[in-house]
Amino acid sequence: MKTIIVPAIIAKIQEEIDAMLSKVKGKVERIMVDVMDGRFVPNTSLMFDFRLKPGFEFEAHLMVNDPLDWVEKNHNKVDIIIMHVEVLEDIEEAINFCKKNGLKVSLGLRPETDIDTVLPYLEKINGILMMTADPGSYCTEFLPESIEKIKKLREINSSLPIEVDGCMNPKNAEIARNAGANIFASGSFIFKSEDIDKAIQELSEAVA
């Protein structure tokens, strides 16, 4: 299964987005934009009418209490929606709503959330996002207990894209890859690096 490195953007203003996209232009295919409302997680990010430059596939990681409201207002900005199951009253209805708006759909799980929550929907979605750190900021602490959940998901479904997000440096990315993940979202390791090309290369080599 193809592995993908996905730089993750946290931003308060448009200029931050533009600067980060410029740094990775031509280096990656996909970008994660972290949308945070200050309620589902303590931090805020991209809570304004932002613009995204062409040239990437964009996934919106919605760390918000009302993801469908965000989708309704912003579905034309991105290609993939990642909704956290912890805030969805009707998961199937939410999946269908996103698909009707022309979006691919992944379901996100906080580290403590049981994978049984998503098992009934694996055939209806385009992927799973497993958090390997508490969501809401760039890397806090890598939580290895998430790795067992990745292993179980991969055993259940051999072809489902499984994305990981949280403290994805080369060491942790390799651990997640060995467990069955194939998409690796990385924020601080890439954007806080003095050599972004080298950071992306190191991640790519770790999960090859």
User: What pLDDT is recorded for position 68?
Assistant: 97
Host domain of residue 143: 4-206
Instruction: Compute the distance between CA of residue 41 and CA of residue 133 in angstroms, rounded to an integer.
Output: 12
Tokens of 111: 């580290």
DSSP per-residue string spanning the chain: ---EEEEEE--SSHHHHHHHHHHHTTT-SEEEEEEEESSSSSSEES-S-----SSSEEEEEEESS-HHHHHHHHGGG-SEEEEEGGG-S-HHHHHHHHHHTT-EEEEEE-TTS-GGGTGGGTTTSSEEEEESS-SSSS-----THHHHHHHHHHHH-SSS-EEEESS--HHHHHHHHHHT--EEEESHHHHT-S-HHHHHHHHHHHT-
Report the relative pairing of strands 57-63 and 80-84 from DSSP bridges.
parallel
Tokens linked to 60: 């919106």
Quote the CA–CA distance of 159 and 198 in Å, as a whole number.
Answer: 29
- Residue 138: per-residue pLDDT: 67
Confidence (pLDDT) at 134: 85
| Residue matched to tokens 């613009």 | 51
Separation of alpha carbons 2 and 40, rounded Å: 31
pLDDT, residue 139, reads 67
- Written as tens digits, the pLDDT of the chain (208 aa) is 899 999 999 999 999 999 999 999 999 999 999 999 999 999 999 999 999 999 999 999 999 999 999 999 999 999 999 999 999 999 999 999 999 999 999 999 999 999 999 999 999 999 999 999 988 666 678 998 899 999 999 999 999 999 999 999 999 999 999 999 999 999 999 999 999 999 999 999 999 9
pLDDT at residue number 43: 93
Q: Which pLDDT does position 141 carry in this prediction?
A: 86
Number of residues that make up the chain? 208
pTM higher than 0.75, yes or no? yes
Report the CATH number that the domain containing residue 126 is assigned in CATH: 3.20.20.70
How many domains in the chain? 1
